[in-house]
Amino acid sequence: MIRLFTAIAIPAEVGEHLPPRQHGIEGAHWRPREAFHITLKFIGDVQETIAADLDEQLRGIEAPAFDLELQGVGHFGEGIEIHAVWAGVAENPDLRRLAKANESAARRAGLKPETRVYTPHLTLAYLKRPAAPEVAAWIQANNLLHSPPFRVDRFGLYSSWRTHEGSAYRLEAEYPLG
C-alpha cells in the first residue's frame, strides 16, 4: 500500500514569505516550507497496481499552464474542533479544471469519487483542540495575505507517510502543463 495525493508545489520565492506567519497558536504543528503545496486530489492508501493505473491516467491530462496567487487565510473545523489553518488561493478557473481532471483521472483508475467540496488551500499548521480566540486572532492578523502571481507549469503525484514530526512527502511523478 502507498498513500498518495496530487498537488502543485509552491515555488521557493512564494514559500519563503509564509514561515514568518507561522506563530501565535499554542500547540500548532506548523508545516515546514518543503511541505507547502496545494492539493489537487487526495487519493489515500492504494495498492501499487492502482497507483500505476493512476499514474497512467494522470499522464493523459492535457491542461494549460496558468498563474496562481495565494490570497487570504482560513481554517477547517469550528471551535475546539478547528484542525488546520491555511493560506487561501485566489479563485482560478484553470486550477478548478485541473483539480476536476485529477478527480476524473482517479475515477478512471478505479478510485472512489471525492465527496467533499474542493477548497484550494496551502496548509500552514495542523491543530489539536486549539483555543478559538488564538485562531481568531491569527486569522485577523494574517487575513490580508496575498502573494505575487506564480506560474504553474506542472503538477505532481506525491507519496506521504507519517513521522513523529508530522507527514513527510516524496514526489513520485511529475506531469507538465501547457
> Which positions are catalytic?
37, 121
Listed residue (95, 148, 138, 137) closest to 118, CA to CA: 95
Grid cell 485562531 is found at: 135
Residues in the chain: 178
Listed residue (38, 161, 30) closest to 99, CA to CA: 38
**All cell numbers assigned to 36:** 507547502
The answer to whether the beta carbons of residues 5 and 39 sit under 8 Å apart is yes
